[in-house]
Structure 1
Amino acid sequence: MVVLGIGNVLWADEGFGVRCVEALQQRHELPDDVQLIDGGTQGLYLIQHVQAAGSLLIFDAIDYGLAPGTLKVVEDDEVPRFLGAKKMSLHQTGFQEVLMLARLTGRYPARVVLVGCQPEELEDYGGSLRPVVKAALEEALALGVQRLRDWGVDVRPRARPLPGDEAVTLPSLEMARYEALRPDADSACRVGDERFLR
């Protein structure tokens, strides 16, 4: 079983999927047969993980054309259609292709669930999740945990600290640290520097 967060944490709400998997690991203990993956923007490099998954739970920022922070759960054959319907970034087309390739090779998960969140802001390099999307992360996490339990996974609240070397995301990019150490928008332009955009 694979739980996959895809997206780029350096581009505001684009990092939603990765932040969900990060929070799941920080707050819950899962059996060894559940693999948590920060898929980033790896695209086709994720194929072996998808092919090996009997069940696949995906978290991602998806442009559904809804109000920011709105969650939508999509299942099974509908998932590739939503990942490619309205592309926001290169990772979505790449991951849609991963699913198609897995199906073509005959090694496609029996169950696929996508928990997607409508982003508010993507064009903020170095930014973090917007408040409305960060609030939606809590509900997305609850939906993901419930789905895992429905699949028979023993999900328990974390009782022991997570060793740093087991963290699904790099310690330097962990959300609390990332938000605490990044410069504010006035100190570090995050939408493009006028000196180079003329």
Structure 2
Amino acid sequence: MPMQQLVDEHIVVLGIGNVLWADEGFGVRCIEALQRDWTFAPHVELIDGGTQGLYLIQNVQSATRLLIFDAIDYGLAPGTLKLIENEDVPKFMGAKKMSLHQTGFQEVLCLAQLTGHYPSQVLLIGCQPEELEDYGGSLRPVVRQAMTPALTQAIDALTAWGAQPQRRAQALPEDAALTGPMLTLARYERERPSAEQACRQGDDRFMPKVL
């Protein structure tokens, strides 16, 4: 890729979702792992988009190429990955909304199109979730396993885009994570209370009885 093109390029890699709602955290966990294990050229920006919705508009508008990780309900088997590209991405992000963050991000993409500042290439790497209704839960095993092929596909795409990915000789420490040291997957798994202790499925003493 010519040097001038590299200077003008701004590749944004975005993970969106909510790590507190089980498989909703897939996108954020992917961006966390990508940052932990890989380095990229200076024109590549990794972003933990969380549930920021419309606040991400400037990040999308500034991108010449955009790669998104997210949990998407495609109606497929849990853990199934599906890659969507370019003009089809907003359609899939709004087809079956699972939470408010998808509504907001679909609007972000549409607004970027309307303003004329839209990436020349967009790639969505989506994973079919297994469980969403588990506040304080974590990725289900089948979705966590899907992270490895998802990251491989991302590295392939980013290499083709000129992002110059290089595997780190040593993984970044937790305190350098985009998610913050308190919410890294390893620490979250290690320190979160059990479902029984946290009453994540509801407390029978207070839940209405179904007769």
| TM-score, normalisation: structure 2 | 0.91
Aligned residue in 2 for 1:31: 41
Give 1:166 deviation, angstroms: 3.9
The AA in structure 1 aligned to 2:157 is R
SS in 2 for 1:187: helix
Instruction: Name the residue aligned to 1:105.
Output: 115
Gaps of 5+ in 1: none
- Name the residue aligned to 1:19: 29
Partner residue in 1 for 2:8: none
Give, in whole Å, the separation in 1 of the partners of 2:118 and 2:89: 12
SS state at 2:145 partner: helix
Which one of the candidate residues 171, 177, 183 is aligned to 2:187?
A: 177
Q: Distance in 2 between matches of 1:186 and 1:41?
A: 27
Percent identical: 67
Provide the rounded CA distance (Å) in 2 between the counterparts of 1:196 and 1:94.
33
Q: Please tell me the residue identity of whatever aligns with 1:52.
A: S
1:153 is aligned to 163
TM-superposed CA distance for 1:197, in Å, is 3.2
| 1:11-160 → structure 2 map (5 Å cutoff) | 11-160=21-170
CA distance in 2, matches of 1:145, 1:91: 25
SS in 1 for 2:198: coil
- In 1, the alpha carbon distance for the partners of 2:139 and 2:125 equals 16
Shift of 1:29: 1.0
Deviations 1:111-137 (A, max 9, x none): 000000000000111111000000001
Report if aligned partners of 2:94, 2:102 keep a CA contact under 8 Å in 1: yes
**Cα distance per residue 1:67-86 (max 9 Å; x no partner):** 00000000000000000001
Deviation, 1:161, is 4.7
More deviation in 26-35 or 126-135? 26-35
Counterparts of 1:108 and 1:187, CA distance in 2: 46
Deviation of the 1:165 alpha carbon: 5.5
Whole-Å Cα distance in 2 between the matches of residues 164 and 64 of structure 1?
Answer: 32
Q: Let me know the Cα RMSD of the aligned residues.
A: 1.2
Cα distance in 1 between the residues matched to 2:172 and 2:182:
15
Instruction: Determine helix, strand or coil for the equivalent of 2:200.
Output: coil
4+ runs deviating over 6 angstroms: none
Query: What is the distance in 1 between the residues matched to 2:171 and 2:96?
Result: 39
C-alpha distance in structure 2 between counterparts of 1:124 and 1:31, whole Å: 37
Displacement of 1:159 in angstroms is 2.1
Please say which of residues 51-60 and 25-34 is displaced more in the overlay.
25-34
TM-score (norm 1): 0.96
State how far apart, in whole Å, the 1-side matches of 2:192 and 2:127 are: 24
Runs of 5+ consecutive residues of structure 2 not aligned to the other structure = 1-10
Equivalent position SS for 1:2: strand
